[in-house]
Chains A and B, each alone.
Chain A
Amino acid sequence: MLKPALRYLKLAAAYTRLNLRAQLEYRAAFVSQVAAMFLNDAVWVVFWVLFFTRFPVLRGWTVEDVITVWALAAAGFGLANAIWGNAMPLPGLIAQGQLDVWMLYPREVLSHLLLGRMSVTSWGDALFGYVVYIAFVRPDAAHLALFVALTLSVALLFIGFSVLSGSLSFFLGHGGDLADQWRNAMIAFSTYPAVLFDGAVKVLLYTLIPAGFVTYVPIVALQRLSLADAALALAGSVAVLAVGVAVFYLGLRRYESGNLTEMRG
């Protein structure tokens, strides 16, 4: 049980090292891209600080809580796409038949191919997330440890969601603009506190657009330093990932029978 996990981690480490080395060949571009994303994220934090200067409380949540949402989302998203950078480009890979090369390696296709690319800007997001949390919220050791663990959970969630939405390409041609908007919606909802939403939308946030596992459950876990809530957050991430993986392999079977809209050969 542990052995395959260890094997995979070694593989992931090798890919991360290589990807980083390849990107650092262009150091200036790397740094500027990271800085640009950092700046981009900072704009939103400035907004929230200004907002909370004028309106100190939002449905019981303070500026720390909302900044934590941002930090968690940014760090989780950043981590996910820095290391598993092929998650978001999945629709393109499927449409252009680029899964073939991955199928010829003696490794699990999905978990292997996800490692094939690194998103440079995501390092900016990751850096931002951790820096902002530490600098703004000034956590103690326990909170920081829990935060880091939760960023891993959020990373899993984003990977799972990307895989899920990306795998639609197996069934709908290039996934279409609909899948793109679905992803945008997920990202948009992931940076606003879930307390803003009621009723049907709230249900949505734990199902079709599972941002609630970024913007509510982990925040509560941090507020109360509660491992139970953290476990719940992780459960949500794992559930999304499981569904995503299932859809991918279902789609892969379709790919293997050659029933995609385009015929290559």
Chain B
Amino acid sequence: MESSVVAEQLVKTFVVTSGWGRGRTRREVVAVDGISLDIPAGQAVAFIGPNGAGKSTTIKMLTGILHPTSGSARVLGYTPWRERRELVRHIGAVFGQRSQLWYHLPPRDTFELLARIYELDRPTYLRRRDMLIERFGIGPFLTTPVRKLSLGQRMRAEVAASLLHGPKVLFLDEPTIGLDVVARQELRDLISSWNRDEGMTVFLTSHDAGDVERVARRAIVINHGRVVFDDKVSALRREYLAAKILSVKFQAPVAPIELPGVTTLKATEYALKLEVDTRVTPIERVMSAVLRAGPVADIAIEDPPLEEVIAHIYSRGAPQAPEEVTTP
């Protein structure tokens, strides 16, 4: 499968000066310390990391806004910082904090302007626009000024706008920030289905675990300018915490279960919620213990929530050997 985004040992060093005259200090800050990526076309990738980890800097280099200090990259075959004018025809960007939509005008007007900016020929533009309006459910508020829209409606229109020119790679930066639960889910589904149906590569930055789980298949975690994890999202959970959450409901009251590596998260008369460190005690042993403890009405084994996993990775901080998995 062809790669849509490839980066090879990208490094970006900033020189930060402060003070004036004799008191002037010069500091070299390494924002990105050798990041390598290989993202096949059509993959949905979550790019995760704490603030200051080097996420925005990396994205700026991949979109051609910033020149790297060293290293190389090719996005859709273009070297971003050298061939930006050509590259940007084929990529789209949605920044949660900054809007492309004109605030006082309806989304339709912004769409028209974008058609003009990208010089799309009229029939293609209209066809695409109508499809996006339908898929994203924008019809009802197409002619309402953006300032009167809810945040959820705005973001849907925002994402639709970014897709008008048919980009092959879409960069999303915190797209669901500030959205309510329903709107968030809607947006995730739209992006996800677009990714699947159109084969468009999605490069998502988010602090929201739900975004990562629902939209992305692959997660790249960076910290201190380096990749600390690069694998499937499911592996993210399994690999890093080696923990399972075991929830069980009994038909009769039972005694508490004591095993090494098992923490009782919640215990009522008839139910137990256990966290199992499977490195200490394999899950089968815990399950047998549970089944022996009393008549089981219901049992479930889950992976721990992603927030916890990510928090765990951040706190660990130290760079691990990146595992490169190229299947979506």
Contact = CB atoms under 8 A, between A and B. Distances in A.
Do A and B share a direct contact in the complex (Cβ within 8 angstroms)? yes
Interface of A: 7, 10-11, 14-15, 18, 21-23, 25-26, 100-101, 103-107, 112, 256-259, 261, 263-265
Contacts of A26: 104
Nearest to A15: B113
Given A258-B67, A265-B57, A104 B93 contact: yes
A105 B56 contact: no
Contact of B52 (A11, A101, A265): A265
17 contacts: A7-B119, A18-B102, A18-B109, A18-B113, A21-B105, A22-B103, A25-B105, A103-B84, A106-B118, A256-B65, A256-B66, A258-B14, A258-B57, A259-B14, A261-B17, A263-B14, A265-B54
B112 A103 contact: no
Contacts of A25: 104-105, 145
Nearest to B55: A265
B135 interface: no
Interface in B41-87: 52, 54-57, 60, 63-67, 81, 84-86
A11 B119 CA distance: 9
Interface string B139-173: 00000010000000000000000000000000000
Contacts of B93: 104
Contacts of A107: 117
Interface residues of B, number: 41
Closest 6 A-B residue pairs measured CB to CB? A265-B57, A22-B104, A14-B116, A263-B14, A265-B56, A106-B89
A105 B100 CA distance: 11
Between A25, A103, A112, the greatest number of chain B beta carbons within 10 A of the residue's beta carbon is seen for A103
Contacts of B29: 263
Nearest to B103: A22
A259 B91 CA distance: 25
Contacts of A264: 56
A21 B146 CA distance: 13
Contact of B88 (A11, A23, A106): A106
Contacts of B118: 105-106
Contacts of B300: none
A105 B162 CA distance: 11
A21 B65 contact: no
A11 B102 contact: no
Contacts of A15: 113
Interface in B228-280: none
Between A23, A100, A106, A259, the greatest number of chain B beta carbons within 10 A of the residue's beta carbon is seen for A106
A3 B101 CA distance: 28
Contacts of B12: 258
Contacts of A23: 104
B181 interface: no
A21 B109 contact: yes
Given A25-B104, A105-B117, A258-B14, A265 B60 contact: yes
B16 interface: yes
Nearest to A253: B67
B215 to A, nearest CB: 21
Given A11-B116, A101-B98, A263 B104 contact: no
A18 B67 CA distance: 34
B15 interface: yes
B5 interface: no
A23 B105 CA distance: 9
Nearest to A99: B65
B132 interface: no
